[in-house]
Amino acid sequence: MQLIALAFDAPHAIDAYLNAVSGAIRDRSDAYDEGEAIWSVVTFLVSLAVTFGLYQTGFIRGLRDRVEARLPRWAAVFPFVLVYTLVFGLITLPLDIWLSHFREVAYGNSTQTFGAWFGEYLIEFGLNLVATAIFVGLLYLVIRALKRTWWIWGAGLSAVLIAVMLLILPVFIAPLLNTYTPMEEGPLRTDILNLATAAGVPADDVYVYDRSRQTNTISANVSGILGTTRVSLGDTLLADATPAEVRAVMAHEIGHYVLNHIYEMLFAFTVLIAIGFAFANGTFAWAARTFGGKWGIGDIGDIAGMPLLFALISTFFFFATPVVNTIIRSNETEADAYGLALAREPDGFAAVSMKLGAYRKIDPGPVERFVFHDHPTGRDRVTMSMNFKAAELAAGATDLDPSQAPLVPEVERYVAEREAKRTGGGK
């Protein structure tokens, strides 16, 4: 067993994988990832500025007065939210267009024309508009009925609505943007179903969705709760990954399901929402006293205070970004470990992690990683994979090949083809 362990050099394999994405491509990946962090700050500041401007111009006060003059106070919430959200969305539309379309095209991630992207944007905006109106309408019933403790009951309401969305997402919402079809019969489909069966996932089929209609990035998921669980993978994963890489990715996604991450995060985010609501509740009175005279805001149950209330909540979550990302990153790390143990494809997972490095920063600094990254880095994942392989070989594993060279050529092929497509040199 010692001879087998010595035949595999984990540090050398780690370096080989990390060097597979280098030069201008790695610089571009770093720039894209760093830009994401910068633009998240810009987006937050723009949202605050738009909210402030709509108050200063008297738009919000006037809108509240008009809808409440025509409807009972409880019913006025819905048209107020619909109009405010539409106006806010129109003002911030240029920023959305830049970030979600033109920037993605510039970095070679998007496969859509502007028309195709905008059509899907309108669908998503419409769904969000309806969901927001329902949520805010119910939340203001809670706020007005339970002014002192609304933040506790409001967090519970948020948890219920999130759970409902998780239930209907894979069945009713996801098919609005993509077509899901059963995966073709073959060894790879059998392998994925065997992994699911071994892990206790209640899936009798695997679905492929046409992710390539929007992007060339790699993704897969095990989504839904209760009876809506669905094992799905994007057609980009099938096109751009080897069978070993696909098995590694699907085992990771199965890990999320088996480890109950969806319920764990639902609980964690409900607690965070309660804290965020408590923060907004505690600061609302001060903000209303400071600005309420000019802005026409009464008590916290006044719908004119809704944009202010949600600005305070978004401020809390902006500064809580490291906490949110740490929760998600911890679950991702657990799923990585589970997936390696289930699929036993350390080279496959290392290789696909480096393919993700074509548009995710592979080796960010510790502060950048803590604040802005909600997934383990490429370095983290390659290191875990090769250390897993070394430990298993040392323990006498016979299903791992100590002489297998790192799958660096496969990573280099993917990166070269992706770059050719970005510059127009590929199909």
Distance CA 51, CA 58 (A): 11
Closest to 354 in 3D by CA, of 7, 6, 21, 89: 21
Strands, sheet with 230-234, edge to edge from the N-terminal-most edge strand: 180-182, 207-209, 230-234, 220-223
Closest to 386 in 3D by CA, of 402, 372, 373: 402
Cβ atoms of 44 and 372 closer than 8 Å: no
Q: Which residues of 199-215 are buried (b: 16+ CB within 10 A; e: fewer)?
A: bebebeebbbbebbebb
As given in the structure block, the two tokens for residue 217 are: 């990035």
Cβ atoms of 221 and 232 closer than 8 Å: yes
Give the catalytic positions in this structure.
253, 336
Query: What count of Cα atoms within 13 Å lies in the side-chain half-sphere of residue 267?
Result: 4
- Whether residue 332 is annotated as binding a ligand: the answer is yes
Distance CA 296, CA 171 (A): 43
As given in the structure block, the two tokens for residue 147 are: 């002014």
Distance CA 129, CA 65 (A): 21
Distance CA 368, CA 296 (A): 41
Distance CA 127, CA 122 (A): 9
Concatenated DSSP letters for 250-279?
A: HHHHHHHHHTTHHHHHHHHHHHHHHHHHHH
Q: Residue 89 class from Cβ within 10 Å (0-12 exposed, 13-18 middle, 19+ buried)?
A: middle
Cβ atoms of 177 and 170 closer than 8 Å: no
Helix/strand/coil for 327: helix
Cβ atoms of 248 and 352 closer than 8 Å: yes
- Whether residue 252 is annotated as binding a ligand: the answer is yes
CB-based contacts of 164, cutoff 8 Å, min separation 6: none
- Whether residue 12 is annotated as binding a ligand: the answer is no
Q: Which residues are annotated as a binding site?
A: 252, 256, 332
Q: Which residues are annotated as a binding site for Zn(2+)?
A: 252, 256, 332
